[in-house]
Chain A
Amino acid sequence: MTDLPTTAGELDPELRSALRRHILTLADSKRVLGIRYSDWLLGSPSIETGIAASSMAQDEWGHARLLYAMLKDLGEDPVHVEQERAVELWASVDALDEPVPDWGALVGIMVAVDGALSVALEGFAGGRYDPARSRVPKMLAEEEFHRDLGLAWFRRLGSGSAEAAAHLSRAVTGLLPRTLAWLAPEDRPYTLLAEAGIVPAGTDLLARYRERWGAALEGAGVDVHGTHPERSAWDEDRSRGPGHPGLEAVERARGDRNRALFVE
């Protein structure tokens, strides 16, 4: 294996397919996360928090657009992928499948899921795939404020009332096993990418995740070191567990309603 940057044209078909899957699950997760943030433009604890949620939604959609565009290098039409895929083909991280029921759960997602996305993107940016090395660092810079907001709220809720802390802990504990599995797939496509130096080994990503977020999560009573990835019924085609995001979210993510308003 060499450390030199590589492009899509240099990859064999199986590796290209694995890379496509990796980009797609990152892009879909960003797009659906943006939908989940956007649900809290209204109804979050303050106007300022709503503005922050709005800004994060825009960031996530922008990142998703950049990631989808990377599929062009693999010979795939990003417009089709973004706008026409059936809901069953969406590859976003499991924790985003359902609407977020309350603010505490959204704070948990900001840290545990958005945090996992950042760790995955860092790994991708540090690998050999040249488009990721050039395009992902700006996303990571924008993610710094997501991290700050998430951690500030996480600490506040975690150190608040026993009820708030318990709620936060339950929310994160419930989504963590599948999120860890998404972050570190133990299957052939991911192994091929890691062996090619395009992504880090899954164990490295898990270690980074636990180092980065462990203190905050454990401060809220989440045993991040004792939680193991849940890989039952793993869907190798989509790099996630069974199920998919709800149709309503995918319709919004695809922009179905926006296009219905177009006048030819």
Chain B
Amino acid sequence: MEEIVYDVFARKNRGEPLHHVGYLDALDDELARVYAWKTYDEENWFEMCVVRRSHIIPVNLAEGPFAGGRRASSAREAREIPAGQPYGGES
């Protein structure tokens, strides 16, 4: 059984933006929901969501944790991410 990396986003109050609060490994979406709620329960969250890291499309960084899924999903796609930082940001 292969585990999937999920990123966890949450907000404390309605109207606040969602914040990235952490990540977890789970076998599927259903388990990811439960693990997220139990792992990141330090606040009384208004809303919490999980997203498969591999579904995150990097915009301006070709390297880093959120580019990993993209690279893993397809070497060809990874090559299409332009080198450098085309949209600005730290190098």
Contacts and interface: CB of A to CB of B under 8 A. Distances in A.
Interface in A46-77: 46-49, 51-52, 55-56
Interface string B45-59: 000000000000000
Given A46-B3, A152-B28, A156-B28, A52 B35 contact: yes
B41 interface: yes
Interface in B14-56: 24-28, 30-31, 33-35, 37-39, 41
Interface in A89-111: none
A79 to B, nearest CB: 29
Contacts of B33: 148
Nearest to B41: A55
A48 B24 contact: yes
A152 B3 CA distance: 14
A149 B30 CA distance: 8
Contacts of A153: 31
Among the interface residues B33, B35, B39, B41, which one has the most CB atoms of the partner chain A within 10 A? Answer: B35
Interface residues of A, number: 17
A48 B25 CA distance: 7
B31 A149 contact: yes
Contact of A51 (B27, B28, B30, B39): B39
A152 B38 contact: no
Contact of B35 (A49, A151, A156, A160): A49
Nearest to A149: B34
B32 to A, nearest CB: 8
A81 to B, nearest CB: 29
Contacts of A152: 28, 30-31, 34
A78 B70 CA distance: 57
B30 A48 contact: no
Contacts of B39: 48, 51-52
Given A149-B31, A152-B31, A153-B31, A48 B26 contact: yes
A48 B36 CA distance: 8
B55 to A, nearest CB: 19
B35 A51 contact: yes
B13 to A, nearest CB: 20
A219 to B, nearest CB: 14
B31 A51 contact: no
Given A46-B25, A52-B39, A145-B37, 4 more contacts: A51-B35, A152-B28, A152-B31, A152-B34
16 contacts: A48-B24, A48-B25, A48-B26, A48-B31, A48-B38, A48-B39, A145-B38, A148-B34, A149-B31, A152-B28, A152-B30, A152-B31, A153-B31, A156-B27, A156-B31, A160-B1
* Across the A-B interface, the 10 shortest Cβ-Cβ residue pairs: A48-B35, A152-B30, A55-B38, A149-B34, A52-B38, A152-B31, A148-B34, A51-B39, A48-B24, A145-B34
